[in-house]
Structure 1
Amino acid sequence: MQLKGAAERWGRVLISEYLYAKLDEFHKIIQSGEVAIIDFWATWCGPCRVISPVFEKFSGTDEFSGLKFYKVDVDEQQEISEEVGIKAMSSFMAFHNGVKVEELVGANSQVYNSF
């Protein structure tokens, strides 16, 4: 994946892989005024790997072009995971203007479609 600019870096890429995000960068993302959908996952989590292609598919569709999609590896970004209270994998959260507006725990793609 080639990155072209700040908006693209912040939009549809893995936070831990490309931004090496710290907690303050995470705050900027969730307080940006745009809706941020975040997949909290782990490399060792089987269900996370199963649902990941569904999440990534949504991030590339016109239907969801007004949303920003991010993935946070909970092992690499423990400070972020602790702040938002991750208790189980896979966890998805939607933030708008710094406020968590939705949360879904589990990797059930049918439930995820309603998120």
Structure 2
Amino acid sequence: MKQMRFLKPIVGAFLQLASVAAFAGEVPFNQASFQQTILSGQPAIVYLHATWCPTCRIQKPIVDRLSAEPELKKVTIFIADFDSETNLKKALKVTQQSTFVVFKNGHEVARSTGQTEEAVIRAVFEKAL
């Protein structure tokens, strides 16, 4: 019985990590999931948006299309609310909504703010691969 108590957290952490890796695409920002993704070296993008932002409204359908493309399906896109994720903004040094921060192998490799051209956003996203 004691062994089960030790195995439960290990198995739980493994399953959570596996689910993040298996389910790439758009997910709501969660600090624990984000950290696991980055620490595991999985490709990730943090998208800081605001519901009131006109640029973000233009970007959202582009993000939806790109996240559905086969080559970008392995990239996890964390959707973070610009107004409520103050710690994240400080950690990433983001000062404006409509910002993408791209990670590859656990490190930031690109960022873009205010971009609305699909080809340019695609090029930024592809840096995660």
Alignment of structure 1 residues 1-115 onto 2, 5 Å? 6-7=19-20, 11-16=24-29, 21-22=30-31, 24-109=32-117, 110-115=119-124
What do the CA deviations read for 1:46-73 (whole angstroms, capped 9, x no partner)? 1001111101111111121232222111
Alpha-carbon shift at residue 8 of structure 1 (Å): 7.4
Pick closer, same or farther for the CA change 1:113–1:96 going to 2, 3 Å: closer
TM-score by length of 2: 0.69
Structure 2 CA distance for aligned equivalents of residues 79 and 10 of structure 1: 25
TM-score by length of 1: 0.76
The size of the alignment, in residue pairs, is 106
What do the CA deviations read for 1:2-42 (whole angstroms, capped 9, x no partner)? xxx833796323324xxxx23x4432232221110221111
- Higher helix fraction: Structure 1 or Structure 2? 2
Alpha-carbon shift at residue 97 of structure 1 (Å): 3.1
What do the CA deviations read for 1:67-93 (whole angstroms, capped 9, x no partner)? 222211122221111110111121111
Identity of matched residues, %: 24
CA contact under 8 A between 2:34 and 2:78: conserved in structure 1?
A: no
Of structures 1 and 2, the larger Rg is shown by 2
Structure 2 residues without counterparts, runs of 5 or longer: 1-17, 125-129
CA-based RMSD of the aligned residues comes to: 2.3
Structure 1 CA distance for aligned equivalents of residues 94 and 23 of structure 2: 21
1:82 maps to a residue whose letter is: K
Q: Residue 72 of structure 1 aligns to a residue in which SS? A: strand
Structure 1 residues without counterparts, runs of 5 or longer: none
CA contact under 8 A between 2:24 and 2:73: conserved in structure 1?
A: no
Structure 2 CA distance for aligned equivalents of residues 86 and 33 of structure 1: 22
